[in-house]
Structure 1
Amino acid sequence: MNKDPSNHISGSDNDATLPRAKILRGRKNFQRLFEQDAKTIRNTVVDLRFKILETDSSGCLMGFVVKKSLGKANKRNRMKRLLKEAYRRHQNILSEAVETADITFHGVLMAKTINANYADIEQNTIALLSKVRDQLSTISPGHS
């Protein structure tokens, strides 16, 4: 492994990175996800809310939410880091389906607890992303 000029360690060519451009940001985007017509898939530790938007561009943006009522800020931040890591490692499950369907996908992974370990979070995230991928295969482009 060598460090490139940007001071990042470069391992293999297919590193699964999660750049800021792929993270859902902005009040309007989050408000859209919490409207009535957004779809929700539930699991034991993590829920996934998503919406397929009708825009000219295609891509997949994901947000990460942990409610304030779940605990102190340091525990919530740790949970968000674990959610981001699980998504980063397995984002290809969903991103390939979004690219082939040529749609714009906005989603948010929401933690139900702050006491979960990484293995449970990762397992739930994989299951949720797989369910969405299967649903996307039945949805025609441009329809939510």
Structure 2
Amino acid sequence: MILRGKDNFTRIFSEARPVYGKQIDMRYIFFDDPAEGFKIAFIAGKKTGKAARRNRIKRLMREAYRLNRHNLEKSVAESGVGFHGALIARRSDTSYKTVEQDIIKLLDRAAKDPILAGAGQ
């Protein structure tokens, strides 16, 4: 599901753990209550270029996420926690291959978070 709402984004930027990639950053937070669900947002700020470039990078991020989300979703489901995350583009002049490599690394790091390891016990 897509992360929506001002309160959720405020929480992501104030309380979430940051993880940095070459072109894309990720901020995520886990919740004890699985009712919070598994939600993700794709962000490309105005500093990344005009609307067409921002939309393109978000499309690339969504596709790379769609193809590589299974490990993180599986870890979160097994741990019985909620997850909110945001993938944030820092540059718009990048290839799909670079975006996908960044997203794979970011999702793997989130899936190996110690909170998930402790929540399943």
State the 1:101 CA deviation.
0.5
The letter of the residue matching 2:111 is: R
Contact 2:41/2:86 (8 A) holds in 1: yes
Residues in 2 aligned to 1:117 and 1:34: alpha-carbon distance in whole angstroms: 26
For 2:112, what is the secondary structure of its paired residue? helix
- 5+ residue gaps, structure 1: 1-21
3-state SS of paired residue (1:62): strand
What displacement does 1:70 show? 1.5
Distance in 2, Cα, partners of 1:59 & 1:38: 16
- How is 1:29-108 mapped onto 2 (pairs within 5 angstroms)? 29-35=8-14, 37-57=15-35, 59-108=37-86
TM-score by length of 2: 0.91
Letter in structure 1 aligned against 2:41: G
> In the aligned structure 2, how far is the partner of 1:56 from the partner of 1:128?
22
RMSD, matched Cα = 1.4
Number of equivalent positions: 119
Q: As a proportion of its length, which structure holds more helix?
A: 2
| TM-score for both structures, normalised by structure 1 | 0.78
Q: Which runs of 5+ in 2 are unaligned?
A: none
Secondary structure (helix, strand or coil) at the match of 2:106 reads: helix
Query: Any conservation in 2 of the 1:65–1:109 contact (CA below 8 Å)?
Result: yes
Partner secondary structure for residue 38 of structure 2: strand
Runs of 4+ in 1 over 3 A off after TM superposition: none
- 1:11 corresponding residue in structure 2: none
Measure, in 2, the Cα distance between the counterparts of 1:139 and 1:81: 34
Percent identical among aligned pairs is 34
3-state SS, counterpart of residue 57 of structure 1: helix
